[in-house]
Amino acid sequence: MNKSELIDAIAKESGLTKTDAGKALDAFTEVVKTALKNDDVVTLVGFGTFKVAERKERQGLNPKTKEPLTIPAARVPKFTAGKALKDVLVSK
């Protein structure tokens, strides 16, 4: 499902217009990005949790030359699914 298909599904499920559903989705993603940038955790009970994980510096290999290289430390977004979301997938 791509973004436009998601907007269509949100509009159909909620009764919003496609324009309003698009604005709501854009607002949601902006709020989550801002929260993660400020080291906040976004928890949607039953759905999941968005947070920032710290990835340590590590050694890797250049796949072309096989030479070792250092992959720098990074802050990466992480999503952990909630119990209700996991249960939906298990019962499938």
Q: Where are the domains of the chain?
A: 1-39
Distances (CA, A) of 9 to 15, 34, 36, 76: 10, 25, 26, 28
pLDDT at 74: 97
Average pLDDT estimate for 20-43: 97
Global pTM reads: 0.81
pLDDT at 29: 97
Average pLDDT estimate for 22-39: 97
Residue 90's pLDDT band (cuts 50, 70, 90): confident
List pLDDT tens digits, range 40-79.
999 999 999 999 999 999 999 999 999 999 999 999 999 9
